Amino acid sequence: MDSPLLQAQGLRKRFGTLEAVRGVSLELRPGEVLAFLGKNGAGKTTTVKMLAGLLLPDGGRVHLLGKDPFQDPWALRHLGAVLEGNRNVYWRLSPLENLVYFGVARGLRLGAARKRALALLQEYDLLEKAHTEVRHLSRGMQQKLAFLQALVHDPEVLLLDEPTLGLDVETALLVQGKIRKLAQGGKAILLTTHQLEVAEALADRVAIIHRGEVILEEEKERLLARFAGDHYVLELEGPAPREVLARLRALGVEGEGPFLFRGTGEALWRVLEALKPLPLKRVAKAEVDLLEVFLKVVGHA
């Protein structure tokens, strides 16, 4: 397995009497998207700012490609970030000027930064606005440009805080596709979002933070399968006779069709026996989505 590109160990941050982050540890490996989820005030943004080198931790360590960005700030050239609720770009500069500025600031030569900037603006359909001041762009265009400034120097690690916020459906899907492609190309990506359908579509792993602590971290598919548990959906080709319904109820089957059964695979065979000889249309393990998992985990925390 590839070594982590970004590691956080035991991060802590206090604001006055509020302990906003309490011992958070995370790892990001090449080619993966980690969805970092939590309610407002849970400590997500504070954690991301510490990972980005913008906020000094009160305790714990951050390593970016093996280097401590607080001891070696030049290590931050390996990182790109989009921070929700912040001005990620300069509003009195044009998109082209912004991207060239950030590219040079992060180590690119002027000519290479300009070439890279023009290529990104064309790829994301912003080339026509290349010379328009950012303050005159729509919110969606500003959000796209914020995403591009994180990409301009081609970093290995991306911290994306609500990257699709304010985008129309078509553009949001475009950005999601780009994020997926970046991960497939080997980028390590931390994604924070309240749009859990976006997190479910993109994430390889999920971490949930609650009151400053990570209370769950697991591979997405394993997590969804675990919360689905032994729940099965059964559908018949036609309605079930009254005597069959009585047998199903005795076995704990719910619903009128489709039916829901909670139990082991062994117990499911008894349900199937009770349905004989009625023709079955579908038998499948019930599914849950990331929203259901999030609500259950935070609700029980």
Residues 255 and 168 in one domain: no
Residues 139 and 277 in one domain: no
Pairing of strands 33-37, 205-210: parallel
User: What is the structure's pLDDT at 259?
Assistant: 87
What is the rounded average pLDDT of the residues 230-234?
A: 83
Whether the pLDDT of residue 272 is over 80: the answer is yes
The answer as to whether 255 is a domain residue is yes
**Residue count (the chain):** 301
Residues 157 and 220 in one domain: yes
CATH number of residue 173's parent domain = 3.40.50.300
Residue 281 tokens read as 């249309």
With residue 142 as reference, give the H or E element that holds it. helix 139-151
Q: To the nearest whole percent, how much of the chain has pLDDT over 90?
A: 74
Residues 245 and 132 in one domain: no
Residues 158 and 269 in one domain: no
User: What is the structure's pLDDT at 134?
Assistant: 96
User: What is the structure's pLDDT at 209?
Assistant: 97
User: What is the structure's pLDDT at 86?
Assistant: 62
Residues 70 and 184 in one domain: yes
Residues 66 and 143 in one domain: yes
CB 208 within 8 A of CB 201: no
Spatial distance between the Cα atoms of 41 and 210, rounded to a whole number of angstroms: 9
Spatial distance between the Cα atoms of 300 and 37, rounded to a whole number of angstroms: 15
Query: Which of 224, 248, 267 is the last residue before a domain boundary?
Result: 224
237-253: b (≥16 Cβ within 10 Å) or e: eeebeeebbebbeeeeb
Report the chain's mean pLDDT, rounded to a whole number: 92
CB 236 within 8 A of CB 244: no
Residues 171 and 203 in one domain: yes
Q: Cα 198 to chain center, whole Å?
A: 7
Whether the pLDDT of residue 124 is over 90: the answer is yes
The answer as to whether 301 is a domain residue is no
Spatial distance between the Cα atoms of 6 and 295, rounded to a whole number of angstroms: 28
Whether the pLDDT of residue 301 is over 80: the answer is no
What is the rounded average pLDDT of the residues 217-228?
A: 90
Residues 149 and 264 in one domain: no
What pTM value is reported for the model? 0.84
The answer as to whether 211 is a domain residue is yes
The answer as to whether 57 is a domain residue is yes
Spatial distance between the Cα atoms of 177 and 171, rounded to a whole number of angstroms: 10
User: What is the structure's pLDDT at 155?
Assistant: 97
CB 282 within 8 A of CB 235: yes
Residue 6 tokens read as 């970004």
Whether the pLDDT of residue 281 is over 80: the answer is yes
The answer as to whether 291 is a domain residue is no
The answer as to whether 299 is a domain residue is no
The answer as to whether 34 is a domain residue is yes
Note down the domain range covering 265.
230-285
CATH number of residue 247's parent domain = 3.30.70
Residues 219 and 237 in one domain: no
| Interval 128-146: pLDDT, tens | 999 999 999 998 899 999 9
Whether the pLDDT of residue 266 is over 90: the answer is no
For residue 227, what pLDDT band results from cuts at 50, 70 and 90? Answer: confident
C-alpha R_g of the chain: 24
Whether the pLDDT of residue 1 is over 70: the answer is no
| Interval 16-29: pLDDT, tens | 999 999 999 999 99
The answer as to whether 153 is a domain residue is yes
